[in-house]
């Protein structure tokens, strides 16, 4: 029997039932309000941590960029959101550091205050528009996000294990190749308080990012700890950029899937996401210290992801892509030209929408986005290029690569794109691939022609530029396979297995063409080397020596202190640690000093002008130096 109770409605009755019926309902906070408030509190705490306690600034940047991305995603989708957040953030940092030298207030405070202000505004907008409300709209893309981020999450777990397991972490992996140059130029920028107009700097974005990361908390540490602090911040940026590239690569595949099953999409996205963490991208970048190349790879992937969404959201995609191109112009200009060709395709296919004056604010936004990109190119990039164009024919340390690899990757991309176009019919993707490969091939030819006077035209810049485009092309190939399988072929299991497996084998075999250099390297991922302390992470003891002797105010030169290669490694840091300009002659000795030749050592001592300290464990060295460098001012310290 079910008992039914009638609510008491007689106004003369008293008691709890009547009392409850007349009570006002309690005020309830929505999930969106709670999460927006939590976001605001988090942003404020991160700002306080960096401003008052000298903590790292990048967690605040990341929180703000994710918030910006969430706002964009609310109006479009999460694919555009994850590309828009970093694009806006990097644009703000770069433009802000062009103003800070004029203000004379340093770097740390302006960057953090501006991010705090943006974060507060973002929190208000997140609350006002209910962006973080836990409903189906917010939860629906979670599977897409998890699949796209799976490889990056695995990489994050591996990095966390390296950090927390005793004896696995050392900073050596971030000190190879051009890492010294990147850090020194970032320190010059830090000393200038931003991007100084008095210095020629054709690639200010990566140095701006590093300088802004170095700034928080640096004033509170002793000078002998500067290098350790700076390398630690650089290492964290490397990790963020590579993991971010892994997320974007996975997202490119997921955004291309159409109606393909998750059994098809997941393995392709996993391989695409693993590519930026593999030796092909991360290993080569770390071995040669190409931080700007790693950042350029991140931006290329972001740009292509934005282009994929242009059919659905032409105006937001156009605006975000112009920001990415501007940031790329300051990262490595030639790569921006490739994305510029894709932007032209986007604009041509959506010209009526982009130029429509029906929605005046939208039209103004398109004009402003175009103006900032063109203005930066004309007034910043072109003058810098004219001053530095001779450098594009220069040589440098580079991995083993041939033009045949570039041709093979380009041909594979075109063939797969044509097949996907015939099978699936998405013409805007095919048009973008044609623009990408055409512009890329043309620029590679230009780089080769600039080196016509040298014996090997396929050298540093052609190989480096082609490698970046190859990385993007391999991700696009995997995405095109997912696109092609979003129609009837996905229903044929044998075809599905063959195409997915074949695509993965194709990409793997092409990536394998650029193999690691040196003993102890891992052709799978540099993460393996860092765990094993081999390859790029093998010089941990030498890195500790560098942090010991590369101290501001000291002029240390190691000669006969350890083996010649270790001495040279430490000297590459210690000789230039006090420089304030890239033209200082001592930087020549920092890279070229042969410690086995007394004449070279005397030259380095002379470039210091006075006060050099020779660190050695060879008791006979001082007599030789006094005889050969009799007119130089130096002292010899015998250690051990």
**Using one digit for the tens of pLDDT, what is the confidence trace for 572-618?**
999 999 998 888 999 999 999 999 999 999 999 999 988 899 999 99
Q: What is the mean pLDDT of residues 162-178?
A: 92
Structure tokens at 101: 């030298």
Q: State residue 29's pLDDT score.
A: 67
491 and 629 share a domain?
no
For the cut 50, the answer to whether the pLDDT of residue 401 exceeds it is yes
**Cα separations in angstroms, 60 against 107, 116, 152:** 15, 8, 20
489 and 434 share a domain?
yes
Identify the band that residue 336 occupies on the pLDDT scale cut at 50, 70 and 90: very high
- Calculate ∠ Cα 421-423-425, nearest 5°: 50
Residue 152 in domain: no
254 and 325 share a domain?
yes
Q: State residue 263's pLDDT score.
A: 85
472 and 408 share a domain?
yes
Q: State residue 419's pLDDT score.
A: 87
CA distance 549 to 79: 47
Contact of 393 with 384, CB cutoff 8 Å? no
**Cα separations in angstroms, 584 against 132, 241, 613:** 53, 31, 18
**Using one digit for the tens of pLDDT, what is the confidence trace for 13-43?**
434 344 444 444 444 568 889 999 999 999 9
593 and 514 share a domain?
no
Residue 177 in domain: no
Q: What is the mean pLDDT of residues 52-75?
A: 95
Q: Provide the whole-model pTM.
A: 0.92
Q: Tokens 């044929």 appear where?
A: 492
Structure tokens at 207: 């140095």
474 and 593 share a domain?
no
CA distance 604 to 598: 10
Q: State residue 369's pLDDT score.
A: 97
Q: State residue 25's pLDDT score.
A: 46
Q: What is the mean pLDDT of residues 258-263?
A: 81
The residue from 468, 494, 527 where one domain ends is 527
Residue 139 in domain: no
298 and 256 share a domain?
yes
The residue from 527, 562, 582 where one domain ends is 527
Of 256, 258, 295, 250, give the one whose Cα is nearest residue 275.
250
Residues 6+ apart with CB under 8 A from 535: 287, 516, 518, 519, 520, 521, 522, 526, 529
CA distance 621 to 613: 13
**Cα separations in angstroms, 534 against 168, 173, 513:** 11, 9, 22
Chain Cα centroid distance, residue 131: 27
484 and 343 share a domain?
yes
578 and 520 share a domain?
no
Identify the band that residue 1 occupies on the pLDDT scale cut at 50, 70 and 90: very low
Residue 357 in domain: yes
Structure tokens at 631: 């007119």
**Cα separations in angstroms, 1 against 4, 5, 184, 286, 528:** 10, 13, 84, 76, 69
DSSP letter at 139? H
Residue 75 in domain: no
Q: What percent of the chain has pLDDT over 90?
A: 66
Q: What are phi and psi of 614, to 5 degrees?
A: -90, 120
User: Burial level of 128, CB count in 10 A (0-12/13-18/19+)?
Assistant: exposed
CA distance 338 to 189: 28
Q: State residue 397's pLDDT score.
A: 79
285 and 373 share a domain?
yes
Count of structural domains within the chain? 2
Residue 594 in domain: yes
Contact of 227 with 546, CB cutoff 8 Å? yes
Q: State residue 140's pLDDT score.
A: 79
Q: State residue 5's pLDDT score.
A: 41
CA distance 432 to 300: 13
Q: What is the mean pLDDT of residues 231-240?
A: 96
Q: State residue 6's pLDDT score.
A: 41
Residue 453 in domain: no
Higher pLDDT, 126 or 488: 126
**Cα separations in angstroms, 485 against 258, 264, 353:** 8, 8, 30
CA distance 401 to 290: 16
DSSP string, 431-490: HHHHHHHHHHHHHHHHHHHHTTTSS-SS-HHHHHHHHHHHHHHHHHHHHHHHHHTTSGGG
Residue 183 in domain: no
Identify the band that residue 453 occupies on the pLDDT scale cut at 50, 70 and 90: confident
Residues 6+ apart with CB under 8 A from 155: 242, 243, 246, 277, 527
**Using one digit for the tens of pLDDT, what is the confidence trace for 354-398?**
998 888 999 999 999 999 999 999 999 888 888 776 677 677 778
For the cut 80, the answer to whether the pLDDT of residue 139 exceeds it is no
**Using one digit for the tens of pLDDT, what is the confidence trace for 529-560?**
899 888 888 888 999 999 999 998 899 999 99
**Cα separations in angstroms, 605 against 276, 561, 614:** 42, 16, 9
> What's the domain range around 561?
539-638
CA distance 453 to 587: 27
523 and 571 share a domain?
no
Share the mean pLDDT of the chain: 89
Contact of 309 with 77, CB cutoff 8 Å? yes
Q: State residue 518's pLDDT score.
A: 59
Contact of 516 with 534, CB cutoff 8 Å? no
The residue from 527, 554, 584 where one domain ends is 527
- Which of 151-155, 285-289, 333-337, 481-485 shows the lowest mean pLDDT across its residues? 481-485
318 and 436 share a domain?
yes
- Which of 100-104, 319-323, 561-565, 569-573 shows the lowest mean pLDDT across its residues? 100-104
For the cut 50, the answer to whether the pLDDT of residue 11 exceeds it is no
């Amino acid at each position: 029997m079910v008992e039914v109770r009638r609510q008491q409605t007689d106004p003369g009755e008293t008691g709890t039932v009547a009392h409850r019926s007349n009570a006002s309902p309690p005020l309830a906070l929505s999930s969106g309000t709670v999460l927006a408030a939590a976001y605001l509190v988090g942003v404020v705490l991160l700002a306080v941590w960096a401003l008052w306690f000298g903590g790292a600034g990048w967690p605040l940047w990341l929180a703000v960029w994710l918030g910006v991305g969430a706002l964009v995603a609310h109006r479009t989708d999460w694919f555009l959101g994850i590309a828009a957040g970093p694009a806006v953030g990097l644009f703000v940092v770069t433009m802000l550091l062009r103003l800070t030298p004029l203000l004379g207030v340093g770097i740390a405070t302006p960057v953090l205050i501006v991010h705090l202000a943006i974060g507060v505004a973002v929190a208000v907008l997140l609350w006002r528009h209910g962006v973080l409300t836990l409903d189906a709209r917010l939860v629906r893309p979670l599977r897409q996000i998890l699949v796209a981020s799976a490889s990056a999450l695995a990489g994050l777990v591996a990095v966390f294990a390296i950090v927390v397991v005793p004896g696995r972490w050392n900073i050596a992996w971030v000190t190879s190749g051009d890492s010294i140059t990147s850090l020194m130029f970032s320190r010059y920028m830090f000393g200038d308080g931003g991007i100084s107009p008095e210095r020629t700097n054709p690639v200010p974005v990566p140095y701006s990012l590093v300088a802004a990361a170095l700034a928080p908390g640096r004033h509170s540490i002793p000078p002998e700890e500067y290098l350790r602090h700076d390398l630690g911040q650089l290492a964290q940026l490397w990790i963020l950029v590579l993991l971010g590239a892994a997320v974007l690569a996975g997202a490119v595949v997921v955004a291309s899937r159409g109606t393909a099953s998750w059994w098809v999409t997941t393995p392709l996205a996993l391989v695409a996401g693993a590519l930026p963490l593999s030796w092909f991208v991360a290993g080569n970048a770390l071995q040669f210290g190409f931080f700007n190349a790693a950042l350029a790879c991140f931006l290329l992937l972001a740009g292509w992801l934005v282009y994929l969404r242009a059919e659905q959201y032409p105006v937001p995609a156009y605006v975000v892509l112009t920001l990415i191109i501007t940031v790329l112009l300051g990262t490595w200009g030639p790569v921006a030209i490739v994305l510029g060709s894709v932007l032209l395709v986007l604009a041509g296919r959506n010209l009526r929408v982009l130029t429509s004056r029906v929605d005046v604010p939208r039209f103004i936004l398109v004009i402003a986005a175009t103006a900032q990109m063109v203005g930066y190119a004309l007034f910043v990039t072109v003058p810098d290029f004219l001053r530095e164009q001779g450098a594009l024919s220069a040589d440098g340390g580079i991995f083993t690569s041939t033009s045949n690899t570039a041709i093979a990757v380009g041909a594979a991309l075109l063939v797969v794109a044509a097949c996907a176009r015939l099978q699936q019919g998405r013409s805007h993707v095919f048009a973008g691939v044609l623009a990408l490969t055409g512009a890329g091939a043309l620029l590679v030819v230009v780089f080769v022609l600039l080196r016509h006077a040298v014996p090997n035209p396929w050298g540093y810049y052609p190989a480096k530029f082609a490698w970046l485009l190859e990385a993007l092309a391999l991700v696009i190939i995997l995405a095109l396979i997912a696109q092609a399988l979003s129609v009837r072929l996905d229903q044929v299991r044998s075809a599905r297995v063959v195409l997915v497996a074949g695509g993965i084998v194709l990409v793997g075999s092409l990536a394998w063409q650029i193999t690691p250099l040196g003993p102890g390297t891992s052709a799978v991922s540099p993460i393996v080397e860092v765990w094993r302390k081999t390859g790029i992470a093998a010089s941990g003891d030498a890195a500790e020596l560098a942090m010991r002797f590369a101290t501001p105010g000291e002029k240390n030169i190691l000669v006969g202190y350890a083996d010649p290669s270790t001495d040279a490694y430490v000297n590459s840091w210690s000789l230039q640690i006090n420089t304030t300009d890239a033209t200082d002659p001592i930087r020549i000795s920092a890279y070229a000093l042969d410690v086995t030749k007394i004449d070279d050592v005397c030259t380095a001592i002379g470039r210091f002008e006075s006060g050099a300290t020779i660190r050695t464990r060879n008791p006979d060295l001082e007599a030789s130096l006094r005889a050969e460098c009799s007119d130089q001012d130096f002292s010899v310290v015998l250690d051990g």
